[in-house]
Amino acid sequence: MENLFKEEDAAGFIEKYADYPEELALRAYTSRLIGGNSDLVLHGGGNTSVKLMTRNIVGQGEAVIYVKASGWDMAFIEPEGFTGLRSKPLEQLCRLDSLSSGEMDNQLKIHRTSAAAQNPSVEALLHVFLPHKYVDHTHADSILILTNQKHGEAMVREALGEDIVVLPYVMSGFPLAKAVWDACTKTPEAKAVIIMNHGIFTFAEDARTAYDNMIRYVSRAEAYIHEQIGNRPLFTLREDLNTPANPQSALTRCAQVIRGACAHSATDDEKLQRLYVETRTDPDLLEASLSDQAASVCRTGVLTPDHAIRTKNLMAYLETVPEDDVSLRSLVQQAVDDFQADYHSYLSEQAKGKDTDSDRPDSHPVLFWVAGVGLMALGETRKAARIAADIGEHTIRAKLRAFAMGEYEPIPETHVSDMEHLNLQERKLQGGISALPLQGQVAVITGGGGAIGFGIAKQLLAAGAAVVISDIDAPRLQVAHSILAGKYGEDLVDSVVFDVTDFPDVERAFADISARFGGIDILVPNAGIAHVATIEELDPAKLDQVIAVNLRGTFTVIKAAIPIFRRQGSGGNIVMISTKNVFDPGACFSAYSASKAGAHQLAKIAAMELAELGVRVNMINPDAIFGDEKVCSGLWELVGPDRMKSRGLDPQGLQDYYCQRSLLKVRVLAEHVGNAVVFFASDLIPTTGASLPVDGGNPAAFPR
């Protein structure tokens, strides 16, 4: 493993964080070096600390330890990512024989230097008990490979040397801190502590040496593993397994079926919790998925119990992808049912004699490894799915090396259960995850580069959905994407350029969206164009163009979404953006009004046909949505000038005219349309086939 410490970079951190103690700036620097290497830690795993002498508010000297705060990713940590603790009183806790997790948490809160500080790592007391100034901790892949071997301790000592302490797995918190303190008190010359099935701690009196020790020991472990494996292949391919004829199609179909099969609710009355899917298709993962070892990789436990919080202990393995959807759904459902039965059995067994809950609604697999297709990870958020996928990738590669070098022996399930239970208890204490109404759902909006599409996207994002906006106008789409991503983050916003009049193009785009997110739950057919002309003057080619976008475009996206809804089997919502013109058409607007009326009827028929899938189809009839200077309305760019001219109004005057024309005398915004979409998509009422005006009140356009 490459040592990335550079004196000039370290000096740069000291200069950048001149308002902080130099030692804390260096602590942040080497923590980032560790956190940026996924072979050492993944997504907030591991922790680091530094001990300082500071002065308190009355100027007295005070020993303080700064420990990485929970929730901070070391790859991006700043000095403020460390929680200060008064170390002297905490050091006295090593004299105790036992300490409950509740009292440990209480002591850590009592002795924080700031009441507003975040919770320190669960291993904070271990950092306190070690006498060294700098302490580094990682879950390095190579260390986990060695410590998950049948004769792991002997291998660790042979690989790393005798200047280390090796301890069996002990639950993180006071028990582990006490065990490490006892061992290091007896072996003060040790330069590292290895915890079986957990990871490695290194330490020193300066930041560079502590980091150097980490890299040196991990490099020794890597070299030992390489030597033990030698020229042996990591896996052997099965002759009876093959890559699907169309891998991309297999991937999107699997993603849709898997996320549908794993959607769940705590009770029959509760809303369905949908999940995002993250896929990984690296060549080595694809090849290994066709191996004799693949099933064993999935059936054996995690590298360390910390991972089980994100991925559960086992994975699901699919050996084949049937070409027909019925067989694929049956295969996936059987895999999920088998996994859930085993998982509930495991929870019940581990709950015996303990104050634990053996019932969990989310008992589905988190990781699916599909032969010839790739790795798929599920999560309530896109971040959770990505973290699970990253851990899954590392687990597969590490296990294959562990199998090749010896006999993989994971930690007993009781330790995994303890970690899962601890995490559940923490979530309960925190009041659980505060889920927004559309969290876990994927929404697709056509015409997303215009004012209405943009407003709908904003409200869906605010409600927790991941949103894909589409348009045929790439520059306009990019403007909307940039604004939305800047506010809500790239994780939840995506954009795709496609032509709604071209059915194969729509199918391709929806497959692409499914590969990125797992499927589609909310479809908003919104793309539309207009043309102003009397019937006498209307060019038939212009009529065809408007019908192609407004009517055919609605048809193509609904048609392309139906197989996705069917594979998912978890219902969904189609909310078509219609118009007040369906009920109240205007002269010189026949192409727009007639094509929208046709699309409106199409949506009503879709409501009848898709009810059996649990898909609701509703329509929204807006009027006079103007947009703003950043995202304008294409329709009003077209019709606005003529209407201003005929009424002798300027742009603001035209908006005021339409405001005063409504019963409520209010300006109707794109966000109001978005609120209506969120209302329908939230399944608050059992309604389908409805038309909802969002126009400020127009008697002529009342649905009837």
How many angstroms separate the CA atoms of 131 and 87, rounded? 11
Full-model pTM: 0.92
- Residue 358 pLDDT grade (very low, low, confident, very high; cuts 50, 70, 90): low
Give the pLDDT score at 208. Answer: 98
Give the pLDDT score at 38. Answer: 95
- In whole angstroms, what separates CA 396 from the centre of its chain? 20
How many angstroms separate the CA atoms of 37 and 35, rounded? 5
Give the pLDDT score at 268. Answer: 61
Residue 638 has pLDDT above 80, yes or no: no
Give the pLDDT score at 696. Answer: 93
Residue 33 has pLDDT above 90, yes or no: yes
**Mean pLDDT, to the nearest integer, of 31-55?**
94
Give the pLDDT score at 656. Answer: 78
Print burial letters for 640-658: b (CB count within 10 Å at least 16), e (below 16).
beeeeeeeeeeeeebbeeb
β-sheet with 522-524: strand ranges across: 493-497, 466-471, 442-445, 522-524, 572-577, 615-622, 691-694
- State the Cα angle at 258 between 348 and 688, rounded to 5°: 105
Give the pLDDT score at 428. Answer: 41
How many angstroms separate the CA atoms of 195 and 203, rounded? 15
- Residue 432 pLDDT grade (very low, low, confident, very high; cuts 50, 70, 90): very low
Other C-beta atoms lying within 10 Å of the C-beta of residue 232: 9
Give the pLDDT score at 433. Answer: 53
How many angstroms separate the CA atoms of 567 and 328, rounded? 9
Which amino acid type is present at position 542?
K
Residue 657 has pLDDT above 80, yes or no: no
**Mean pLDDT, to the nearest integer, of 179-193?**
97
Print burial letters for 314-339: b (CB count within 10 Å at least 16), e (below 16).
bbbbbbbbbeeeeebbebbeebbeeb
Instruction: Report the length, in residues, of the chain.
Output: 704
Strand partners, 46: none
Most confident among 371-375, 411-415, 696-700 (mean pLDDT): 371-375
- Residue 431 pLDDT grade (very low, low, confident, very high; cuts 50, 70, 90): very low
**Mean pLDDT, to the nearest integer, of 378-387?**
95
Print burial letters for 448-460: b (CB count within 10 Å at least 16), e (below 16).
bbbbbbbbbbbbb
Number of H helices, E strands in the chain: 25, 18
Give the pLDDT score at 347. Answer: 84
Please state, in angstroms and as integers, the Cα–Cα distance from residue 65 to each residue in 51, 127, 202, following that order.
4, 8, 16
Closest C-alpha to 316, from 300, 330, 334, 298: 298
**Mean pLDDT, to the nearest integer, of 344-358?**
75
Give the pLDDT score at 578. Answer: 97
* Residues with active-site annotation: 592
How many angstroms separate the CA atoms of 656 and 637, rounded? 17
664: CB partners within 8 A, 6+ apart: 696, 697
pLDDT in tens, 57-95: 999 999 999 999 988 999 999 999 999 999 999 999 999
Of all residues in the chain, the percent with pLDDT exceeding 90 is 84
Give the pLDDT score at 634. Answer: 61
> Where is pLDDT greater, at 35 or 656?
35
- State the Cα angle at 352 between 347 and 358, rounded to 5°: 30
pLDDT in tens, 517-568: 999 999 999 999 999 899 999 999 999 999 999 999 999 999 999 999 999 9
Give the pLDDT score at 269. Answer: 62
Give the pLDDT score at 354. Answer: 67
Which amino acid type is present at position 674?
G
How many angstroms separate the CA atoms of 427 and 70, rounded? 14
pLDDT in tens, 672-695: 999 999 999 999 999 999 999 999
How many angstroms separate the CA atoms of 695 and 666, rounded? 9
Rg (CA), the chain: 30
pLDDT in tens, 303-319: 999 999 899 999 999 99
Is residue 202 within 8 Å of residue 213, measured between CB atoms?
yes
Domains of the chain, each with CATH number or no CATH: 7-229 (3.40.225.10), 247-429 (3.40.225), 497-508+526-701 (3.40.50.720)
**Mean pLDDT, to the nearest integer, of 244-273?**
89
**Mean pLDDT, to the nearest integer, of 602-618?**
99
Of all residues in the chain, the percent with pLDDT exceeding 70 is 93
- Residue 426 pLDDT grade (very low, low, confident, very high; cuts 50, 70, 90): low
Other C-beta atoms lying within 10 Å of the C-beta of residue 608: 11
Give the pLDDT score at 4. Answer: 97
Give the pLDDT score at 360. Answer: 64
- Pairing, β 442-445 against β 522-524: parallel
Give the pLDDT score at 429. Answer: 39
Residue 651 has pLDDT above 70, yes or no: no
